[in-house]
Amino acid sequence: MKSKPASARNGLLAGGNWIIDQVKLIDVYPRPEQLANIRSQAQGTGGAPYNVLVDLAKLGVAFPLFAAGLVGKDALGERILRDCRKFKIDARFLRATAEAPTSYTDVMTEPRGGRRTFFHNRGANSLWAGEDLDFDKVNARIFHLGYLLLLDALDASDRKFGTKAAALLCAAQEAGLKTSVDVVSEDGDRFAHIVAPSLKYVDYCILNEIEAGKTAGFRLRQPDGKLDTVALRHAAGALLQMGVRELVVIHFPEGGFARTRKGEDYWQSSLNLPPKYIAGMAGAGDAFCAGVLLGLHQGWDLKPCLETGVCVAAASLSEPTCTGGVKPLKPTLDLAKKYRFRPPLEPEMRAGKRAS
């Protein structure tokens, strides 16, 4: 079948990890054999497709949203499917299986600063290889896949493409979709042989500074914790050299950075939020990603894409769950008027753009 060009398509298809987050606010993270108190708890969305699609729905986007993946035939899986119905997300490619439970994560969140620790059950996500996903039967413009390194079947090796994820992304591009990926942050050395093969079939690579550094082989923070903006630019360039077709976006607590295939750099600082505003950091990266993908889908310039990304991330920080704090687009963007952007990380950020 002849592929349909991305310009003739409409909507965002997101596939990968579907997770229920059990968010627990604790007074302190304990040392081994010590006790911590759970002050409150909440249940919310988790995983790249779940968070991004719900964020986009809550922002009020006019384009269609499509879900792909695997949940268990259990109460948590039914909650996910119910959320899809609630937010008008097309779930034709989100199946339920009796072979594994719905994935869940216990998220231990410390109120001061919102630092999180995760205890994860991979569940049904580990079985999903995207084999039932027919890109010719969905009219989406963008296919967002995440998280690489947390999808066992897709992280598996493939003789032709390197990994099964790379093969799936190639199929999406051949059908005429733009592709986007996200990666999970983990300690380990798997980035090079699992993430790298996919980059040749990725149009938009959206990672945080930890993931970008480990994939590209750069340390993006100095010993004192300060962001190394020179190394960050080099990492973005390396990711493009590894095959990313159009755009690399790296996000971090201080803001976001984008480099295009043409060598143009864009910087955007985050909002100057008071410490008491931050209820939890879970989902902030996916919220940033949702804001950027919204702009990319609509054909915006990169500066408003990044501004929207940091504003959606700021909204998500107001609640302990991943998507609980996200509001419609206008009040979300109005957060920039209320809290203002932080000072730029580099002089070039004052102009918003710098050619390499």
The predicted structure's pLDDT at residue 279 = 84
Query: Domains of the chain by range and CATH?
Result: 12-355 (3.40.1190.20)
Instruction: Provide mean pLDDT across the span 140-167.
Output: 97
Cβ 273 vs Cβ 317: under 8 Å: yes
pLDDT digits (tens, 9 = 90+) for 174-202: 999 999 999 988 777 788 889 999 999 99
The predicted structure's pLDDT at residue 352 = 47
The predicted structure's pLDDT at residue 356 = 43
DSSP letters for 13-60: EEEE--EEEEEEEESSPPPTT----EEEEEEEEESHHHHHHHHHHHHT
The DSSP bridge partners found for residue 341 are 271
The predicted structure's pLDDT at residue 188 = 73
Cβ-based neighbours of 295, under 8 Å, separated by 6 or more: 302, 304, 305, 308, 309
pLDDT digits (tens, 9 = 90+) for 17-73: 999 999 899 999 999 999 999 999 889 999 999 999 999 999 999 999 999 999 999
DSSP letters for 223-242: TTS-B-HHHHHHHHHHHHHT
Q: Exposed, middle or buried, 191 (CB in 10 Å: 0-12/13-18/19+)? A: buried
Instruction: Provide mean pLDDT across the span 332-355.
Output: 75
The pTM of the whole model exceeds 0.85 = yes
The predicted structure's pLDDT at residue 189 = 79
Range scoring the smallest mean pLDDT among 116-120, 128-132, 264-268, 300-304: 116-120
Backbone angles phi, psi at 337, to 5 degrees: -75, -35
State the Cα–Cα distance between residues 209 and 353, nearest whole angstrom: 19
The predicted structure's pLDDT at residue 107 = 86
Rg (Cα) of the chain, in Å, rounded? 19
Top pLDDT among 321 and 67 is at 67
Backbone angles phi, psi at 307, to 5 degrees: -60, -45
pLDDT digits (tens, 9 = 90+) for 243-288: 999 999 999 999 999 999 999 999 999 999 998 898 888 899 999 9
The predicted structure's pLDDT at residue 349 = 47
Asked whether residue 3 carries a pLDDT value surpassing 80, the answer given is no
